[in-house]
């Protein structure tokens, strides 16, 4: 009986153990809008977390704000989420593709996103079926 109780306590402590600390952001959703399982080991089944996501125009500073929120920039004197370079900005290319995720030791989940073509209003709406002449 005592061994069974110890086994149950061991299982419980394993489930409540903190996940490993992330060294860098991981891809959560790729540029094809497919889920990636790179960050699953950092996402544990516990309800005590906050999720922070930022949306905005390309080059507005979303990645920089996320780096500041993570306190990574202060501790390591560098950006956690890579900001858009001048070259990429001039070419009109995205630095972040899809959604990148970073889980802080304080259980804050930071989501850095690519600007959606729909949000920018640059997506052309094409009819599903071409119109036919009668």
DSSP result, 107-122: SEEEEEEPPPHHHHT-
**32-89 per-position pLDDT tens digit:** 778 888 878 888 777 788 888 887 777 777 777 887 877 754 555 556 666 555 565 5
One DSSP character per residue, 27-85 reads EEE-TTS-B--TTGGG--S-S--EEEEE--STTSSHHHHHHHHHTHHHHHSS-SSPPPP
pTM, 2 dp: 0.58
- What pLDDT, on a 0 to 100 scale, did the predictor assign at position 67? 78
Mean of all residue pLDDT scores within the chain: 67
* Sign, CA torsion 102/106/107/110: negative
Cα→Cα distances 62→42, 89, 119, 133, Å: 22, 14, 15, 47
pLDDT for res 69? 79
């Amino acid at each position: 009986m005592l061994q069974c109780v110890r086994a149950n306590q061991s299982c419980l402590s394993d489930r409540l153990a903190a996940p490993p600390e992330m060294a860098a952001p991981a891809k959560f959703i790729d540029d094809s809008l497919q889920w990636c399982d790179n960050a699953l080991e950092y996402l544990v089944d516990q309800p005590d977390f906050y999720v922070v996501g930022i949306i905005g125009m390309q080059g507005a500073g979303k990645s920089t704000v996320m780096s500041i929120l993570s306190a990574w920039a202060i501790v390591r004197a560098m950006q956690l989420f890579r900001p858009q370079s001048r070259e990429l900005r001039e070419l009109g290319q995205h630095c972040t593709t899809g959604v990148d995720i970073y889980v802080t030791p304080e259980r804050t989940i930071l989501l850095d996103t690519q600007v959606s073509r729909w949000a920018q209003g640059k997506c052309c709406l094409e009819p599903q079926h071409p119109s036919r002449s009668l």
